[in-house]
Amino acid sequence: MSALNDIPVDTLSFEAARDELVRVVAELEQGAPTLEQSLALWERGEALAARCEEWLLGAKRRLEAARAAAGDAETDGAS
Residue 2 clears pLDDT 80, i.e. is over it: no
Round to whole Å and give the CA distance between 77 and 40: 56
pLDDT digits (tens, 9 = 90+) for 14-64: 999 999 999 999 999 999 889 999 999 999 999 999 999 999 999 999 999
Predicted pLDDT at 78:
64
Round to whole Å and give the CA distance between 48 and 23: 11
Give the global pTM: 0.80
